Amino acid sequence: MTYLENVLDVIDKISDLTFQRAVWWNSEYYDPILDYSEAVNTLESFSFYDDVKNRQFSFSKEEYEEVDFFIEALLAYDSFRPLDSGMAVDGDWLKVVESAKKVKVLVQRIAEPTSVYSTTFFGYWKEHRAGIEDVPSIKDYVNETINNSYVKEKLVRYLMSGGIEVVSSELLTHAFTGERFSMSYCILTDGVWSWPQDLALYVLDYHVVIPQEWYEYIVSMDFTIPEEVKQQNPGVDWDGLLHKESASSIVMTGWREGMEKVSMIRLQRSLLELTMTEAKENIDKLLDGKEITLSVSDITIAKVFVAAANELGVDCLLK
């Protein structure tokens, strides 16, 4: 089990302790291993408390307040509880259990790296969507005074290091000059907000500003995007991504049960621009237990391919 899966398991047990304590006198259901002292010690051993204190997760301010309450309530209740009194439950413990249920939902959201975050998108400009009247112009977000108040270097680094949420076949177009970038359109995320990958450029060079509440959130996270957000598997626009000159390679091995052959062929053709024959030959080699190495156009596409292939069931890594 992963670290967060273990945390979820403990929170599940905490949520169930109300029932177990209520029937402890006349039932085999009570298991002393699930006592809250054990739960407290287990959560501490997983460094969950420290990670919450250091704001290592993609929670909003309100969500962190809920998790903080849960931890403080759990620690406080554990410190003054009557020793195995056999009492059913009391109001204080019920509050802990109710909070545990809320925290469980939050942890579930970040425990699964393939989950799709419910985020607020910023950066949908009229300059990118000609003819759509209700889309704002990027020029409406130019404010030199506010922009200069930012901790610019840290903010730009933050905007450049988001987790990949979606990769598209569409080429990036410079919102101010109209020129084409030599890279595909990509949406990044910090787990709470999402934005186009060229936003960092406009913040740095064109005094573009972001929503104040988002900037305050970024500051509260100490300009650091949680690792579990960076590691999530991105969505892919299957129309095909342009092949670029920079090259890296991917090593693919193994074949796990449940793998869809058609999906793997489509993945190779869409991201690596292989012919149907080449893609099928690679599949046959994998089915025969052979290792294959594939050339990849750029590091972003490589990461997308590895994530998608692993999700489909093929062991795959960057070389």
Encode pLDDT of 10-24 as tens digits.
Answer: 887 777 655 455 444
Pseudo-torsion of CA 228, 233, 234, 235, nearest 10°? -140
Q: Which percentage of the chain shows pLDDT scores above 90?
A: 10
**Can you tell me the mean pLDDT for 17-44?**
56
The pLDDT of residue 164 is above 70: yes
**Alpha carbons 203 and 123: distance in angstroms, whole number:** 11
**Can you tell me the mean pLDDT for 252-270?**
58
The pLDDT of residue 256 is above 80: no
**Which residues, at least 6 apart from 32, have a Cβ–Cβ distance to it below 8 Å?**
38
Which segment of 52-56, 94-98, 273-277 scores lowest on mean pLDDT?
A: 273-277
Half-sphere exposure of 57 (CA within 13 A, CB side): 28
Q: Could you tell me the pLDDT band of residue 262, with boundaries at 50, 70 and 90?
A: low
The pLDDT of residue 239 is above 50: no
**Alpha carbons 40 and 35: distance in angstroms, whole number:** 9
Q: What's the confidence (pLDDT) of residue 27?
A: 43
Q: Could you tell me the pLDDT band of residue 246, with boundaries at 50, 70 and 90?
A: very low
Average pLDDT taken over every residue of the chain: 71
Q: What's the confidence (pLDDT) of residue 300?
A: 64
Q: What's the confidence (pLDDT) of residue 33?
A: 40
The pLDDT of residue 198 is above 60: yes
**Which residues, at least 6 apart from 3, have a Cβ–Cβ distance to it below 8 Å?**
46, 47
- State which of 120-129, 155-164, 183-192 shows the largest mean pLDDT: 155-164
Q: What's the confidence (pLDDT) of residue 122?
A: 85
**Alpha carbons 115 and 113: distance in angstroms, whole number:** 6
Give the distance from CA 261 to its chain's centroid. 27
Q: Tell me which of 100 and 135 has the higher pLDDT.
A: 100
The pLDDT of residue 30 is above 50: no
